[in-house]
Amino acid sequence: MRLCSASSLVAAVAAASLAWLSFAAAPSADREPPVVTPGTAGSPPSDAVVLFDGKDLSAWKGEDGGEPRWKVAEGFMEVGPKGLMTRQEFGAIQLHLEWASPAEVKGDGQGRGNSGVYFQGRYEIQVLDSYQNKTYFNGQAASFYGHNAPLVNASRKPGQWQSYDIVFHPPSPGADGKVRPGSFTVFHNGVLVQDHIPVQGDASVAAKFSGVTPTGPLLLQDHGNPVRYRNIWVRKLD
């Protein structure tokens, strides 16, 4: 067997170093990933914008622009007259929120524990008591309302706290004038229910706003049922 000469070994090491340097300088590797302290059990991580910590509605206004009229009690808010809208607007975000439909079951189908989270005031991820409560598939809990049914029904019983973890990218205008779709990825109680599905730009039924836009408010729907919310935070992704 022929051994490498010292000079060829040096050349090989130098070439490997150059290759490493060129990789390190590539655009995908030129930004140190920021350190983020993760939360536990859904609590907000260090870089989150906290929208509701159980104390007050200072991050919110009524969907008519007036003062919010929802009740805050014992660490949660409860749906009251008119929807709630964030004072801040958002583009692409990661959202965490927890909700509970009323423990006392009333109504059925869309009339049981109905609320919803409208991204940019346009695209609704449905909140509904879907525990042993049939309705149309793209209108049950964790559906992209009117567009896409959830992969599974991961609902807990009425009155129990449930979580949504949602990644939303808004649609945007393309150079050709056509809409470039955005996307929804949704976890319901930690279970994947919407797997990077397209958001084409047509607003859900009963949306407050329409049209493709870079940013917009989050809106919690008043559908006449006393659904409760707690622990709401977002991380901006753009």
Q: Which two tokens stand for residue 183?
A: 């996307």
Instruction: Give Cα separations from 17 to 10, 11, 24 (angstroms).
Output: 11, 10, 10
83 scored as a contact of Mg ion (CB under 5 A): no
Q: Taking Cα atoms as reference points, which of 140, 90, 137 lies closest to residue 118?
A: 90
Query: 111 or 198: whose CB is closer to Mg ion?
Result: 111
158 scored as a contact of Mg ion (CB under 5 A): no
User: Is 50:188 a contact under the CB 8 Å cutoff?
Assistant: no
DSSP for 101-136, written as a single string: --SS----GGGSS-EEEEETTTEEEEE---TT----
Site for Mg ion in 195-224 (CB under 5 A): 221
CB of 140 to Mg ion, least distance (A): 10
Stretch that binds Mg ion, among 11-19, 63-71, 85-93, 122-130 (CB under 5 A): 122-130
Whole-angstrom Cα distance, residue 112 to residue 124? 17
Q: Which residue is nearest to Mg ion (CB)?
A: 116
Residue 163 β-bridge partners? 98
CB of 236 to Mg ion, least distance (A): 25
**Cα 29 from chain centroid (whole Å):** 27
CB of 196 to Mg ion, least distance (A): 22
CB of 34 to Mg ion, least distance (A): 35
How big is the site for Mg ion, counted in residues (CB under 5 A)? Answer: 4
Q: Quick one: CA dihedral 186, 192, 193, 197, positive or negative?
A: positive
116 scored as a contact of Mg ion (CB under 5 A): yes
Stretch that binds Mg ion, among 125-133, 167-175, 190-198, 226-234 (CB under 5 A): 125-133
Q: Which residues bind Mg ion (CB under 5 A)?
A: 114, 116, 126, 221
